[in-house]
C-alpha cells in the first residue's frame, strides 16, 4: 500500500503543485473579498 501511495505521489507531483497554488489563490481571493466591505 505504501508503494502505491509513493508511486501516485511521484506521478502527480506536478499537478499537486499546481493544485496547491490554485488553492492558495482561492484563499487569497476569499480573504480579499471578505475584507472589501470594511474598505467603504
**Per-residue pLDDT tens digits for 5-39:** 999 888 888 898 899 999 999 999 999 999 998 87
pLDDT of residue 9: 85
pLDDT of residue 35: 93
E runs forming strands in the chain: none
Euclidean distance between CA atoms 26 and 5, whole angstroms:
27
pLDDT of residue 22: 96
pLDDT of residue 26: 98
pLDDT of residue 27: 98
- Cα separations (Å) of 9 from 1, 18, 21, 25, 40? 13, 13, 17, 22, 45
Q: Where are the domains of the chain?
A: 2-38
In degrees, rounded to 5, the angle at the alpha carbon of residue 12 between the alpha carbons of residues 7 and 14 is 135
Amino acid at each position: 500500500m505504501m508503494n502505491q501511495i509513493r508511486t501516485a505521489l511521484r506521478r502527480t507531483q506536478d499537478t499537486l503543485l499546481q493544485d496547491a497554488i490554485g488553492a492558495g489563490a482561492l484563499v487569497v481571493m476569499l480573504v480579499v473579498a471578505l475584507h472589501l466591505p470594511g474598505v467603504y
